[in-house]
Amino acid sequence: MDLFINILENHHISDNIFEDIVRIIKFVEENKSMIQETLFKDDILELAEDITSSATLLECASDECYILDDGSKVYFPITKDDFFNSLYIESLTINFNKNNNSFIELILLNNPDYFNGSYFIINIDENSNIKFIGLED
């Protein structure tokens, strides 16, 4: 995971900025399930299966199974647990403004790569509101 800290123009670095950074990282860890749940508002499992089904179909006993470009196997149906277990943070960016408020951007990827290299963008504002921004290439 990459961590980026942006201190925006006219911001005075306070003595407790490191405490703020730790607090933000702790918030992300403690609210992992809420962050994951924000992805389920747009039929994300259906999209994952749709994209994954363009991979090579394997003959795997009685299960529908595909092999992805990275060599990983994906069994259908993709469950919510499968999806959650596949997510990881690629980067976390913390932006501090002049009022010492923070804005957080998370970039999430999947392993196995259900979305062929596309990633999720999640924003968290200074009031701890979590918002799914979209899936990007």
**Residue 28: what are its φ and ψ, rounded to 5°?**
-60, -45
pLDDT at res. 25: 92
pLDDT at res. 132: 93
What DSSP state is assigned to residue 11? P
**Residue 7: what are its φ and ψ, rounded to 5°?**
-105, 110
Spatial contact of 94 and 106, defined as CB atoms under 8 Å apart: no
**What is the token pair recorded at 27?**
């918030």
The neighbour count for residue 105, using CB atoms within 10 Å, is 16
Cα 21 to Cα 15: distance, rounded to the nearest angstrom = 12
pLDDT at res. 12: 60
Domain count, the chain: 1
pLDDT at res. 13: 62
pLDDT at res. 42: 62
pLDDT at res. 121: 96
pLDDT at res. 15: 62
Give the range of the structural domain holding residue 108, as residue numbers without chain letter: 2-136
pLDDT at res. 11: 55
- Name the pTM for this structure: 0.87
Chain centroid offset of residue 57 CA: 27
pLDDT at res. 20: 83
Q: Which residues of the chain have pLDDT under 50?
A: none
